[in-house]
Amino acid sequence: MTALFQQLPAIDKLLKTAEGEQLVAEFGHSAVVTECRRLLEQGREQIKREHQLPPEFGDIRLITAALRRQLQQRRQVRMQPVHNLTGTVLHTNLGRALWPAAAQQAAVAAMGGNVALEYDLQEGRRGHRDSYISELLCELTGAEAACVVNNNAAAVLLMLATLAKGKEVIISRGELIEIGGAFRIPDIMQQAGCKLVEVGTTNRTHLQDYRDAINEDTALLMKVHSSNYQICGFTHSVTEQELVDLGREFDLPVITDLGSGALTALSAYGLPAEPTVQDKWRQGVDLISFSGDKLLGGPQAGIIVGDRYLIERLQSHPLKRVLRCDKVILSALEATLRLYLQPERLPHQLTTLNQLTRPVDQLTQQAQALKVRLENHLAQDYILRIEPSPAQIGSGSQPLAEIPSVAVTLEAKTPAKLTALFARFKALPQPVIGRLENDKLWLDLRSLADLNALLDTLEHL
Ligand SMILES: *Cc1c(COP(=O)(O)O)cnc(C)c1O
């Protein structure tokens, strides 16, 4: 075995070959040495297992070719772009909302340059990083002030920690939600140092339940939009309006975690209705929090709008400094929000809304183009059809509402072939992610960002 180990080339010898020198010129000395060590270690492991020199280690050119492949691979970003054909438009695991062009431009401009992030250009002195967005949000929602943090989970944490640390927060049992990625209201309460006071039952909560729970330790009344599930049947919940009246009676603020936080009435675009931020403010809720990358259609952010005095308290809490957004996100969010100043143009300009409202006819045409391209490669082993498909908004918005869509479906002639196909799509240079359902692979056009890019990718199938 020692003799076999000795047949592996020494690193300095490898580097002195013409191929080795070429690699160093391209990738730099340290990266090449690191990769050499890694590769030779693999060679030694293989010798231990198989008691012979692996053929690819017998030839310098094969070794340097393997090194080149590895070095190239390590230069590539592994969080790859994918084509979303799952039918879920706001797919949390695939990065939620696609930024509108205006947001992308604003972000790129901010990335490589300086921006007046905390600099008041009129006065020439220190400004506030949320101020541009705050003004816009007030105009759009009617609220008095706003605060922006990293995501909505952070927004909820900041509200609770600022307004109710060491105190009690009353919330309905039916609203103690868990959403994906370990966001659970009781856990966030605990992290914020608040005591959770659950009232009512899973399916029914009455105003009297809240009233009975109020005592001198109560700091807040809280509502949570039960985004990712619905309770049907014998149910009752207390509206924000009622809770606000109760809050006024006892001088307690009412806060709402709205989750998706639509900034425009979706029903105007033929979509299932979601409560809007404006509605909640009009109903008198003191603070409303929501995500930037769900229905709003912008970058990941958590937005809180509401009462000026309470927002000032959030802004001066040390946690705000921990949770604040950077210049790129704030630029992109501002650009996204500016689109809402022109509501008629919103379905063209806001990518998420565009995806959700594209007419079925248009999706059918796209499905035809996709089917033709796939048939070239797959018609032998699969039955291809164009079928109506139930798409979803995703990210907890309207979990039961189906949005009409169209999919190309692939039915395998044998079951094993279907999983193999799913894997084959995922192995493409830009992986194609569909949905396996009813023994078919569904490629739903509603959630797709770019048909031409998809057709180009499929050349590699
Ligand atoms: C999505 C959601 C959250 C979490 O928002 P992130 O922006 O993902 O942190 C919290 N509450 C509700 C009700 C939600 O729907």
User: To test the ligand 1 pocket, which listed residue (92, 93, 152) has its Cβ within 8 A of the most ligand atoms?
Assistant: 152
Predicted pLDDT of residue 227: 63
Provide the CB-side half-sphere exposure for 310 (13 A, CA): 25
Question: Which two tokens mark 393?
Answer: 């908004």
Predicted pLDDT of residue 65: 93
Residues facing 204 on adjacent strands: 236
DSSP 344: G
| Mean pLDDT per 10-residue segment, the chain (461 residues) | 85 92 96 95 92 85 93 91 97 96 98 92 84 96 98 97 97 81 84 94 87 97 80 80 96 95 90 92 97 97 98 97 97 98 95 97 98 94 96 79 95 85 94 95 98 97 91
Minimal-distance CA residue to ligand 1 atom 11: 259
Residues within a 6 A CB radius of ligand 1: 151-153, 179, 183, 224-225, 227, 257, 259-260, 291, 302, 395-396
Q: Which of 252, 244, 245 is nearest to 217 (CA)?
A: 252
Predicted pLDDT of residue 238: 86
CA-CA distance, 227 to 165, in Å (whole number)?
26
- Measured between alpha carbons, how far is residue 459 from residues 313, 357, 363, 370, 423 in Å? 56, 29, 21, 12, 16
Question: Which two tokens mark 416?
Answer: 């094993």
Pairing mode of beta strands 168-172, 195-199: parallel
Predicted pLDDT of residue 139: 97
Minimal-distance CA residue to ligand 1 atom 7: 152
Question: What residues contact residue 396 under an 8 Å CB cut-off, 6+ apart?
Answer: 179, 227, 228, 259, 260, 294
User: Side chain identity at 369, as an amino acid letter?
Assistant: A
Predicted pLDDT of residue 399: 66
Minimal-distance CA residue to ligand 1 atom 10: 259
Interval between CA 328 and ligand 1 midpoint (Å):
21
Interval between CA 188 and ligand 1 midpoint (Å):
12
Q: Which of 19, 68, 7, 96 is nearest to 43 (CA)?
A: 7
pTM score, two decimals? 0.91
Predicted pLDDT of residue 428: 96
Alpha helices in 258-359 (DSSP H): 277-282, 308-315, 318-323, 327-339, 346-349, 351-357
Whether the Cβ atoms of residue 71 and residue 23 lie closer than 8 Å to each other: yes
Predicted pLDDT of residue 261: 83
Predicted pLDDT of residue 235: 79
- Measured between alpha carbons, how far is residue 219 from residues 129, 225, 361 in Å? 28, 20, 52
User: To test the ligand 1 pocket, which listed residue (178, 227, 304) has its Cβ within 8 A of the most ligand atoms?
Assistant: 227
User: To test the ligand 1 pocket, which listed residue (183, 277, 293, 398) has its Cβ within 8 A of the most ligand atoms?
Assistant: 183
Taking CA 319 as the corner, what is the angle to CA 313 and CA 325, rounded to the nearest 5 degrees? 100
Alpha helices in 28-151 (DSSP H): 29-50, 60-75, 101-111, 131-141
Is residue 170 helix, strand or coil?
strand
